Amino acid sequence: MKLICVKDAAEMSAYAAKQIGDAVRRNPKLVLGLATGGTPKETYRLLVEEYNKKAISFRNVRTVNLDEYVGLSSADPNSYRMYMKQNLFDKIDISFDNCHLPDGIASSPSDACVRYDRMINELNGIDLQLLGIGRNGHIGFNEPGTPFDAGTHLVKLSESTRKANARYFHSEEEVPKQAITMGIGTILKSRAILLIVSGSSKADAMGRLLSLNGPDPAFPASALLMHPDVTVIADREALSKSK
Ligand code: F6R
């Protein structure tokens, strides 16, 4: 695991946008794994800026998102598809046919999970997967205890994750109770992984990740220790409890 220490969220985002931009310039047909949440927003804004400057094109890029809430239609303002449209897809030249998220309103979520992994295989896997980390170490919606070999699956969201995500909803009750997430096994099959972390609320998680001697399913992000090509970009606050 390569650790890049940066000053703050702005530097983290600039670094991540540069890594992703360079990967797309090297391979215009890149299969790019994407995350939602607060952490990657500025990275996406910088990629849009690059696109507006004609420094990058996403015309042939394929994207696969980590997760989607169950029960929210793609038009729901809190769906992750809507987040991706608002923060990235609607602002660049990507083809919507190339943008994939799990189907949160499938009549059979378990079939939707199988279809999602099959679709990723048909794309020949993920070239570069962008990740954030939850305070409890979750990646995607893989909560503590998730087996490291799991494929895309249906999850019941933990109370702490629902609380953390309630800021985007009118109330905590509105936060869906389930989601479909790429499994840790799916994530680990990516050829390269970029984990971005900022802020003091992530300091405990980073401290734990960097002090572990090996992977431990009680702390999902520790699965990344098993992967040969992981870059972590973390700011000073996120690293304030790391030795
Ligand atoms: C989002 C996702 C989550 C987030 C994590 C951190 O698609 O899979 O694992 O990356 O919850 O969220 P933020 O960035 O809001 O702190």
State the CATH number of the domain containing residue 138.
Answer: 3.40.50.1360
Q: Is residue 242 part of a domain?
A: no
DSSP string, 93-146: ---GGGEE---TT-SSHHHHHHHHHHHHHHTTS-SEEEE---TT--BTTB-TT-
Q: Is the pLDDT score of 35 beyond 90?
A: yes
pLDDT tens, position by position, 148-180: 999 999 999 988 889 988 988 999 999 999 999
ipTM greater than cut 0.90: yes
Q: Is residue 241 part of a domain?
A: no
Question: Which of 168, 228, 176, 199 has its CA nearest to residue 8?
Answer: 199
Give the separation between CA 24 and CA 128, rounded to whole angstroms: 10
Q: Is residue 223 part of a domain?
A: yes
Q: What is the mean pLDDT of residues 131-142?
A: 95
Distance 177 CA to ligand 1 centre (A): 16
Q: Is residue 138 part of a domain?
A: yes
Q: Is residue 44 part of a domain?
A: yes
Question: Which of 87, 106, 129 has its CA nearest to residue 178?
Answer: 106
Contact 145, 136 (CB under 8 A): no
Distance 134 CA to ligand 1 centre (A): 6
Output the pLDDT for position 12. Answer: 98
Ligand 1 and 176: CB distance under 6 A: no
Output the pLDDT for position 165. Answer: 87
Name the one residue in this structure whose structure tokens are 């109370």. 159
Nearest CA to ligand 1 atom 11: 134
Give the separation between CA 225 and CA 212, rounded to whole angstroms: 9
* Active site positions, annotated: 67, 136, 138, 143
Ligand 1 and 220: CB distance under 6 A: no
pLDDT tens, position by position, 192-242: 999 999 999 999 999 999 999 899 999 999 999 999 999 999 999 999 999
Binned at pLDDT 50, 70 and 90, residue 243 comes out as confident
Ligand 1 and 37: CB distance under 6 A: yes
Question: Looking at the 3D structure of the chain, how many domains does it have?
Answer: 1
Q: What's the domain range around 34?
A: 2-235
Question: Comparing 14-23, 79-88, 156-165, 214-223, which segment has the lowest mean pLDDT?
Answer: 156-165
Q: Is residue 173 part of a domain?
A: yes
Question: Which of 241, 117, 122 has its CA nearest to residue 188?
Answer: 117
Q: What is the mean pLDDT of residues 23-51?
A: 98
Ligand 1 and 38: CB distance under 6 A: yes
Ligand 1 and 193: CB distance under 6 A: no
Output the pLDDT for position 164. Answer: 85
Q: Is residue 150 part of a domain?
A: yes
Output the pLDDT for position 213. Answer: 87
Output the pLDDT for position 168. Answer: 87
Nearest CA to ligand 1 atom 2: 140
